Amino acid sequence: MSDPATVLVLGARGRLGAAVTRAFAQAGWQVAAQVRPGAGSLPVIPNVRWVQALPWETEPLAQAAGHAPVVVQGLSPAYTHPAWRRDWPRLAEAGIAIGRRLGATLMLPGNVYNYGRAMPAVLREDTPQQADTVKGRIRVQLERQLAEATADGSLRAVVLRAGDFYGAGTGTLLDLVVAKTLPQGRVSWPAARMDVATPWAYLPDLARAFVAVARCREALAPFDTLHFAGHAATGADWVAALTRTACEAGWLAPDGTLRVSHLPWPLLRLAGLAVPTLAAVSEMRYLWQTPHRLDDSRLRVLTGPLPATPFAQAVREAVAALGLASPTPAAARAAV
């Protein structure tokens, strides 16, 4: 199947949206990249046309997108329970509306919240979803809403489920928590145990997977779900990769050791009484205590081999993309 002319990316300045915009453009697609009006200076990117409109302004978006057969929903609310309850229904309806208007396939990133605390070690597309958190129940309802929207044939939809995002800029757990103080030789890990493997999605790799699935979309059911495995990495894996990166940057001596601290979950839970974001974070503590990974067998059968950046290289590139401060003169001398 030849590449279609255009893909519409909703939320093209967000973490996922920006990565997906670049990946489709680099693959030769024309990208209508939605941003909110007044978004400020927008970069010039080959094959990318910026569209300043609100997500629910269906007609202006449809006119800008032309006959785009694919829409990527890259929008997401702020990471609080009130924001998710308030904003996800409207964002979901916006994606469904423009997808129907174009007769397109709507693509949505998914996560593992759907499975709940009792999730098994290996998560497949048919694994029972037993969400028992606020965000998990919202995600289950969102995917049910998408499935119901495809029933009349006016829309197709696919959820590409992945682990924690990292890479391609700021705003992820990597820079907000884990590597925030890496130039000072310190990292913070969410769990007390360092041997629990969880799935991580390097955003450039995940974005390329979106492109590959878009090319094969006609082989999918009207509503379908696929899993992107990414990297199944433990805290020890992350510390080892970050140690190498810090040594290469001169933040550590060649034989240096990173100091590792752990999130104070009881304090976070207490602070969550006053800070909504911390309340939402605290609810997800179980993810760091429960080993799990995503089985991507169906995805690989559909698309064939996908580009996969080795973990150590992905961590190095992700840290470089954060624009962290250069090493101090003393650290640079120590690394020589």
Q: Which amino acid is at 67?
A: H
Q: Checking DSSP bridges between strand 231-233 and strand 198-202, what pairing results, if any?
A: antiparallel
pLDDT tens-digit map of 113-150: 999 999 999 999 999 999 999 999 999 999 999 999 99
Both tokens of 75, joined, read 């929008």
Which residue ranges form the domains of the chain, and what is each CATH number?
Answer: 6-168+201-232+290-309 (3.40.50.720)
pLDDT (0 to 100) of residue 333? 35
pLDDT at 162 over 50: yes
Q: How many Å apart are CA 14 and CA 20, to the nearest integer?
A: 10
pLDDT (0 to 100) of residue 4? 53
Would you place residue 264 in the very low, low, confident or very high pLDDT band (cuts 50, 70, 90)?
Answer: confident
Phi/psi at 236 (5° precision): -65, -40
Both tokens of 117, joined, read 């605390």
Phi/psi at 231 (5° precision): -110, 125
The CA distances from residue 254 to 108, 115, 230, 247, 318, in Å, are 42, 42, 29, 5, 21
Asked if residue 27 lies in contact with residue 3, where contact means CB atoms within 8 angstroms, the answer is yes
pLDDT tens-digit map of 39-96: 778 889 999 999 999 999 999 999 999 989 999 999 988 888 999 999 999 999 999 9
Lowest mean pLDDT across 102-116, 169-183, 236-250: 169-183
pLDDT (0 to 100) of residue 244? 94
pLDDT (0 to 100) of residue 329? 41
Q: How many Å apart are CA 155 and CA 160, to the nearest integer?
A: 17
DSSP for residue 178: I
Would you place residue 327 in the very low, low, confident or very high pLDDT band (cuts 50, 70, 90)?
Answer: very low
* Residues in contact with 173: Cβ distance below 8 Å, sequence separation at least 6, in sequence order: 164, 165, 166, 190
pTM > 0.75:
yes
Mean pLDDT within 284-302: 95
| DSSP secondary structure string for all residues of 22-80 | HHHHHTT-EEEEEE-TT-------TTEEEEE--TT-HHHHHHHHTT-SEEEE-----SS
Cα R_g (the chain), whole angstroms? 20
